[in-house]
């Protein structure tokens, strides 16, 4: 690809998402010059050692200088402060994007600091693993995954299109959505599943009558699927729940309601209700397989794959 | 293996577990003669077509005749009735085993029908996929998984040992446990995770404001891990919850309590509590990886593998 959608790209935050973006850009043959910055010297050193970014800078200000695209890839709660730091150093006409898991709060935190003539295009690549940090990334993370693009009504159309072109080159499919709908969809498909998984793992860890050792030994019976997502970065998830409070609490309410209904069916021995409920949920699984968003392999497809 | 622990083996029920047992026996080179029976003609026909069992019988009575080991591999709620049917046809001194996911209730349902001189050794292979039926099985299902052996105090020691030898030959590790502890451990590592997954998928399916299509498209963000286990057989799971009621309701209570505490932390903006909780749960994940009960591959290790 000779004509990269952005000639100079700055990645602020060098964790799982930013490092995967960098490797995916290289894989796509984009000739953009990529600068990077992370808060800690340790992360910057690791990035330099890995060859992550064409240039790792010691300040965010330096990294964003002359950039055509600046991507904020830090925890959701850090988006506002980071934007405030870099704002005076942005090139007029540049595009600022971010990859946070929550949108309405991030838009509210970032927008007040936006200089005149700088375009803001929030995005959310719906892909991840339970790993974090600069060495967690890999080029295929976004392949065949969705990247939600969450512009506001007044956002410059050309800036939005270029961000979409960029994500398509990284392997993702893009879809536009408004911030409120985004936050509700993500509460359902991501935030509440993570909260529940964290809770289940916490309960298991806490039960005196069953040793941690037993929980670990026998985890293949379902529990390990929960531990996987409950091993994600605590800071990222703290920020997600604190910033997507309304949708989280609404969906949690619905979840608890349904769980209580099933508990009642168990207590009263209502096998018909249980059977009907468990049958209905199979259809969604089938849909996910058909949409190519998971594999149907036995043993949950958990063969060892190479990075 | 020339000296099979049981010369004649009868599999009653020919679903995921029984078919995997058959293929694992063949892989181990066991020279046992294996008969099989399933309730429906359709399943028996499929079994014959697949070469599942050396002989597929048209009645359970016929299948168990002369068997040294009879394995009940039917839903938990069917164990008692099936035992009642076969009891008069069992060879004196034979071993009856079963692979149900719940133990106390199954033992109570089966024991009254046990003829004098027949040994009963309940087991629970802690392995599975979300698939069911005679064509779902594969020889490696039990490899490196745990098979819990749940004898009672008075159970014949030799019968227990032979069942353990048999499961070891099938690829599993065995561990003895009493029925009450088994049911509590399984509620934590398997039954409640499944119930929660079913509930989460039900909630997603039910939300008018988000289309099923969106839930499916964006499922890679965490939700798909839930749909996988929520696609398991409805009859099997109905029976599990109805028969492991006490442990289920106890663990559900603990789960709801913790979830409410986290909900409160979210509502009041207590980031410290959330961060501490999410940090604690990571250790369990590490333990599971170290115990070889899951893979740490990126993209959740979901590469396509062959059966
Ligand atoms: N992981 C996922 O599954 C996923 C998926 C989609 C979107 N997201 C979103 O993507 C963003 C990044 O996530 P990630 O998984 O890449 O995280 P990560 O691997 O933990 O990396 C986070 C990066 O942000 C930097 N950082 C943290 N706090 C900061 C602060 N207060 N100021 C400046 N920099 C800070 C970190 O620097 P140090 O290393 O120096 O601490 C690190 O380089 C988050 O907003 C997250 O919600 C994550
Ligand atoms: N799947 C797992 O993850 C897993 C793991 C460990 C233990 N288990 C336990 O293993 C047992 C079998 O599970 P599975 O996954 O192999 O189930 P499955 O694939 O659904 O097969 C069940 C078999 O039982 C037969 N059956 C069903 N109801 C019956 C009845 N009322 N009377 C006689 N036969 C009946 C079925 O016959 P038709 O096909 O003719 O209907 C079928 O052959 C269950 O007790 C389950 O709790 C399952």
Domains of chain B listed by start with CATH number: 8-178 (3.40.50.720), 181-296 (1.10.3660.10)
Name the phi and psi angles at B130, rounded to 5: -85, 5
Tokens 């890839």 sit on residue: A73
Q: Over chain B, what is the mean pLDDT?
A: 91
Ligand 2, from B10, B12, B14, B17: best to mutate by most atoms within 8 Å of Cβ?
B17
* Distance of alpha carbon A30 from alpha carbon A32, whole angstroms: 6
DSSP A87-128: GGGPPTT-EEEE--S--HHHHHHHGGGPPTT-EEEEEEE---
Q: Which bound ligand lies closest to the C-alpha atom of A60?
A: 1
CA distances from A32 to A25, A168, A285 (A): 8, 15, 40
**Distance, first Cα to last Cα, chain B:** 24
Tell me which DSSP letter residue A140 carries.
Answer: T
> Positive or negative CA dihedral for B62, B122, B22, B18?
positive
| A217 vs B9 pLDDT, higher one | B9
User: Are A271 and B219 in contact (CB < 8 Å)?
Assistant: no
- Tell which of B20, B188, B235, B297 to mutate to test the A interface (max A CBs under 10 Å): B188
Give tens-digit pLDDT for B13-61: 999 999 999 999 999 999 999 999 999 999 999 999 999 999 999 999 9
* B303 pLDDT above the threshold of 50: no
**Distance, first Cα to last Cα, chain A:** 24
| A130 vs B7 pLDDT, higher one | B7
CB-nearest partner of B302 from A194, A219, A294: A294
- Tell which of A266, A272, A276, A283 to mutate to test the B interface (max B CBs under 10 Å): A266
Tokens 């995997």 sit on residue: B20
**Which residues, listed in sequence order, are joined to residue B26 by a DSSP beta bridge?**
none
pLDDT at position A305, please? 31
Q: Which atom of ligand 1 is nearest to the CA of A240?
A: 47
CA distances from B214 to A181, B127, B151, B204, B222 (A): 11, 31, 48, 10, 14
Name chain B contacts of A228, Cβ cutoff 8 Å.
225, 285, 294, 300
pLDDT at position B167, please? 98
Sheet arrangement for strand B119-125:
B55-56, B33-37, B8-12, B69-72, B95-98, B119-125, B146-149, B173-176
pLDDT at position B296, please? 56
Q: Which of A18-22, B165-169, B237-241, B280-284 has the lowest mean pLDDT?
A: B280-284
* B214 pLDDT above the threshold of 90: no
User: Are B259 and A199 in contact (CB < 8 Å)?
Assistant: yes
Name chain B contacts of A131, Cβ cutoff 8 Å.
298
What's the complex ipTM?
0.90
Length of chain B: 307
Residues of chain A where predicted confidence (pLDDT) is lower than 50? 1-2, 297-307
Give tens-digit pLDDT for B63-73: 999 999 999 99
């Amino acid at each position: 690809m000779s004509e990269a959608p952005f000639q100079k790209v700055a990645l602020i935050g060098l964790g799982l998402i930013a490092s995967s973006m960098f490797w995916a850009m290289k894989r796509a043959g984009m000739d953009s010059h990529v600068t990077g910055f992370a808060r800690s010297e340790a992360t910057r050193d690791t990035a330099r050692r890995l060859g992550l970014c064409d240039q790792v800078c010691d300040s965010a200000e330096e990294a964003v200088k002359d950039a055509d695209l600046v991507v904020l890839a830090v925890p959701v709660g850090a988006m506002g402060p980071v934007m405030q730091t870099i704002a005076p150093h942005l090139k007029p006409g540049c595009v600022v994007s971010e990859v946070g898991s929550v949108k309405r709060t991030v838009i509210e935190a970032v927008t007040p600091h936006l200089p005149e003539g700088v375009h803001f295009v929030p995005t959310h690549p719906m892909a991840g693993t339970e790993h974090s940090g600069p060495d967690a990334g890999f080029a295929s993370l976004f392949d065949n995954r969705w990247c939600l693009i969450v512009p506001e009504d007044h956002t410059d159309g050309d800036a939005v299109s270029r961000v979409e072109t960029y994500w398509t080159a990284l392997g993702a499919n893009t879809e536009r959505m408004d911030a409120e709908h985004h936050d509700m969809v993500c509460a359902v498909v991501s935030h509440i599943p993570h909260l529940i998984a964290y809770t289940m793992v916490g309960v298991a860890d806490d039960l005196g009558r069953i040793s941690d050792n037993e929980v670990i030994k026998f985890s293949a019976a379902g529990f390990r699927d929960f531990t996987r997502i409950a091993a994600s970065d605590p800071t990222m998830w703290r920020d997600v729940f604190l910033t997507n409070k309304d949708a989280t609490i609404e969906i949690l309410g619905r979840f608890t309601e349904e769980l209580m209904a099933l508990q009642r069916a168990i207590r009263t021995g209502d096998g018909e209700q249980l059977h009907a409920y468990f049958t209905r949920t199979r259809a969604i699984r089938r849909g996910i397989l058909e949409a190519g968003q998971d594999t149907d392999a036995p043993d949950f497809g958990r063969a060892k794959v190479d990075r």
